[in-house]
Amino acid sequence: MCAAIARQEFRPTPLKRVLPVPSDIEIAQAAELKPIVQVAEELGLLPDEIELYGPYKAKVKLEVLERLRDVPNGYYVDVTAITPTPLGEGKTTTTVGLSQALGAHLGKRVVTCIRQPSQGPTFGIKGGAAGGGYSQVIPMEDFNLHLTGDIHAITAANNLLAAAIDVRMLHEADATDEQLFVRLFPTDKAGKRHFTPGMRARMAKLGIEAQTPDDLTIEDRRRLFRLDIDPDTITWRRVIDTSDRFLRGITIGEGSEEKGMTRKTGFDITVASEIMAILALTTSLRDMRERFGRIVIGLSRSGEAITADDLGVAGAMTVLMKDAIKPNLMQTLEGTPVFVHAGPFANIAHGNSSILADQIALKLAEYVVTESGFGADMGMEKFFDIKCRYSGLVPNVVVLVATVRALKMHGGGPKVVAGRPLDVAYTQENLDLLRAGLPNLLHHIGIARKFGIPVVVAVNRFVTDSPAELELVRQVAVEQGGAEAAVVCEHWEKGGEGALELAKAVVAAAEKPSTFEFLYPLDWPIKKKIETIAREIYGADGVDYLPEAEERIAEYERLGFGSLPICMAKTHLSLSHDPMLKGVPTGFRIPVRDIRASVGAGFLYPLLGKMSTMPGLPTRPAFMDVDLDLETGRVIGLF
């Protein structure tokens, strides 16, 4: 009854455009929100399939997938971009604007699926990721700050595993085999010892058979409980969801009771954790538990891969993550539903929101609009070759976001620096500079078409773009690039109305046949997969491997990780590995300095340059503007 009453009383307030243009947070706070129970009901969710987190956000239970298992999937749309400037080109804003156009203006049942932002960039220099202008996810403050606590759960699970590693080494160092056996297998009230699920998993891996711990031979006891971790091989680090450069390198074990156990390690930002990547790629609670168990934290001194299951901690990690696995339901400024779930990095990880959110959305909606991180060479390639492999979902359309300013940069324009005013080259008409940068757009269209997916180009209009510049981009995208359509969009200023023509083009493209195929088969050798991505996606002449990378590749092949997909870790500011190479670079080779394994998530990630997994704060961080209006209780200064 409450939901029905709320639905009757809700009257969307027309969005008013006033000059000067209000900030994103002012626009978001001026909107009238639907109660989230109404959003859920309109989407087709039952009351017992959501868990409320206040009046305007909720979690969606995974049981909905079982109820809707026989319902055909809707159309699947991925929004990507050309190689961006450091300012970003409005990809999330386009994602939200397109969804508003499909839902609020064309009357389609639509769901937006996007990532949750990290508080590191939110309080640093980048800002939030809720979209912008009149194409946003709301409540914007909740979206960018805590939401329902998923990132905090990841922090807790990640750091529990980190603590388990060090304490295991400590106790193995100060105990005899017999003492360690007694401590790891205490007797119950009946005087019996029992295996834990993690120990059972390790026994299966080692081929050990026993009914009870007391049945183990002396040799099997040692193999089972003495992991003998080589501290020099540990790759698992602690995390925190704050940009704190002083935690990039630390020394642990300085306490008096840990004497002799010091080692150098460091912190990553939480969204760079493998647990975040697992959350985005898992397909069920059981699958998540199995993936946690497969996480490799390092090697034993004999060269055995040591996992979270070997440490007996994967079950507890799953308990910490049992609520985080449920997608979060929110809404856009125009009342269309949004699933916000997971937020892995788009350089060292795959940069896509969760499979589970997409699976649920595709059962509930006619159109699901999701977004992959950075350009088509980054998040979109990983969306296809990693996410789609694990989800089994086939995309129907790619929307490629382009801007005049980014194309001018690729044509040789002055350097673009976040926080500094744009050079006049970007604010005045310059068709020659724009024309010189258009090959970058054509290359990205070609990447999407290489996978057999129709492409629609969204030209995100800025107020300084001239009609002639916009028309040139549109014309070249269709006539030379082979895009199905290229549409100038004004969704930042006009919301869904400004993306209406884009929505119509997406609907038309979704009806066209596609021939989706992966870039490479998984049974190819590691090097062949890396080199295929380098040539076919980046346009490189070849790949050069440093000795450390050669050693890692041989090691991973020996350990049986060679059949995993590849998640290339490189800059997003160039098609190449070098952020200074703009446009469509040629005559370059890709250097692979190292390669790491995210076995739980299910990919290998070659490092093509120095990848920072802990951002630093600028001289004037964004948090300096953020405060609480004590009179109204509203957050102020958040973008």
93 is catalytic: yes
Provide the β-strand partners of residue 372. Answer: 352
Query: Which pLDDT score is estimated for 20?
Result: 63
d(CA 179, CA 528): 48
H helices, E strands: number in the chain = 24, 24
Indicate whether 13 pLDDT > 90: no
Closest by Cα among 350, 394, 402, 395 to 372: 350
Mean pLDDT throughout 347-354? 91
Helix axes 36-43, 2-9, angle to 10 degrees: 100
Predicted confidence (pLDDT) per residue in 179-223, tens digit: 999 998 899 999 999 998 888 889 999 999 999 999 999 999 999
Question: Strand ranges (DSSP E) for 101-248?
Answer: 110-114, 131-132, 135-138, 238-240
Query: Which pLDDT score is estimated for 123?
Result: 87
Active-site entry in 59, 108, 115, 527 = 115
Predicted confidence (pLDDT) per residue in 353-365, tens digit: 999 999 999 999 9
Query: Which pLDDT score is estimated for 7?
Result: 42
pLDDT band at 330 (very low <50, low <70, confident <90, very high): very high
d(CA 28, CA 130): 10
Distance of CA 222 to the CA centre of its chain: 40
Provide the β-strand partners of residue 489. Answer: 460
Predicted confidence (pLDDT) per residue in 133-173, tens digit: 999 999 999 999 999 999 999 999 999 999 999 999 999 99
Active-site entry in 123, 492, 561, 603 = 492
Query: Which pLDDT score is estimated for 241?
Result: 95
- Rounded to the nearest 5 degrees, what angle is found at the Cα of 296, between the Cα atoms of 62 and 117? 50
Active-site entry in 280, 346, 503, 569 = 346
Predicted confidence (pLDDT) per residue in 90-103, tens digit: 999 999 999 999 99
Q: How distant, in Å, are the alpha carbons of 19, 120, 230, 273, 481 from that of 239?
A: 43, 12, 21, 7, 43
DSSP string, 323-361: TTTSPEEEEETTS-EEEE-----SSSS--B--HHHHHHH
Indicate whether 18 pLDDT > 60: no
Predicted confidence (pLDDT) per residue in 394-438, tens digit: 999 999 999 999 999 999 999 998 878 999 999 999 999 999 999
Max Cα–Cα distance, the chain, nearest Å: 84
91 is catalytic: yes
d(CA 210, CA 150): 39
Indicate whether 3 pLDDT > 50: no
402 is catalytic: no
Active-site entry in 59, 126, 494, 527 = 126
Mean pLDDT throughout 488-496? 97
Predicted confidence (pLDDT) per residue in 308-327, tens digit: 999 999 999 999 999 999 99
346 is catalytic: yes
Mean pLDDT of the chain: 93
Amino acid residing at 159: N
CB 548 within 8 A of CB 593: yes
pLDDT band at 16 (very low <50, low <70, confident <90, very high): very low
Measure CA of the first residue to CA of the last residue in the chain; give whole Å: 37
pTM: 0.94
Q: How distant, in Å, are the alpha carbons of 99, 563, 579 from that of 576?
A: 32, 25, 7
Distance of CA 123 to the CA centre of its chain: 19
462 is catalytic: yes
Active-site entry in 225, 236, 339, 462 = 462
Predicted confidence (pLDDT) per residue in 545-577, tens digit: 999 999 999 999 999 999 999 999 999 999 999
Active-site entry in 80, 83, 93, 242 = 93
Query: Which pLDDT score is estimated for 55?
Result: 97
495 Rama sector, left if φ>0, alpha if ψ -120 to 50, beta otherwise: left
Active-site entry in 34, 57, 91, 552 = 91
492 is catalytic: yes
